[in-house]
Amino acid sequence: MIRTLLLPIAAGVLFLAPVPVAAQSSGDGYLFRTPRVQIGFRGGFSGAAAGSEIFEFAREELTLNKSDFSGGSVGFDLALRTSERLDLVLGFSSSSSSTRSEFRDWVGEDDLPIEQETTFRRRPLTVSARLFLRDRGRRISRFAWIPNGLTPYVSGGVGAMWYEFSQDGDFVDYEDLGIFTTRFESSGWSAMAHVGGGVEMSLSPRVLLNLDGRYELASTRLSQDFVDFDDIDLSGFQVSLGLALRF
């Protein structure tokens, strides 16, 4: 009989026993430790400064505007926490624009437009410091870390940028006024730097929304088919919105 009474008591104890803390990573509105790593994905708009000679030439000869060299962007960030207000961030993004155009002052012998497509791509790879203007969370006990709702930051960094500038289609030979079909291209790498800022908004203990804005500074020598032009301007601004996960 004693054995019969002990069995339900033992079962109740096992049912009520807490899951070991080591097997849990977060509670209701908090984490059990301060996060050390953050992985984020973002998308947005990348505006090109397009201030160098090659862009001016393209706008003068073809039906292109300065805004045609800007386009959408996607990016990835890996942030490593070094202190409560400072992160080291490894980042990569890619932006691209591709625009159809025609010569402004010339047409073919059939009176049809002389058409081509201009493509401009930029892919920066950066190492940055992100300085938060307030604490990102607070520890209320040995095992609980609660994130703040909104946390603004400023950022800056250096890196390298790969670019491609190409034009594919029909062109005018200014020596004999003939029309020919070809592809002009220049690509390569440039050193770069950027400054910016943004804000993080916690959606849950692990998930947050990130709004980021930055200005990138870069230029380099043109290669291949555009060697007669001055350095290409790779600078511009980037605004993006993304989601990130804390670990």
**pLDDT at residue 26 tops 80:** no
pLDDT-based confidence at residue 158 (cuts at 50, 70, 90)? very high
pLDDT digits (tens, 9 = 90+) for 194-204: 999 999 999 99
- The mean pLDDT of 185-212, rounded to a whole number, is 97
Q: Which of 2-16, 68-82, 116-130, 212-226 has the lowest mean pLDDT?
A: 2-16
Q: Are 38 and 88 in contact (CB under 8 A)?
A: no
Q: What is the CA radius of gyration of the chain?
A: 27
**Domains parsed from the chain with CATH numbers:** 24-246 (2.40.160.20)
pLDDT digits (tens, 9 = 90+) for 113-135: 999 999 999 999 999 999 999 99
Number of residues assigned to the chain: 247
The residue ranking higher by pLDDT, 120 or 223, is: 120
| Nearest residue to 188 via CA among 151, 139, 234, 145 | 234
What pLDDT does 34 receive?
A: 86
Q: In this structure, which amino acid lies at residue 200?
A: E
| This prediction's pTM | 0.85
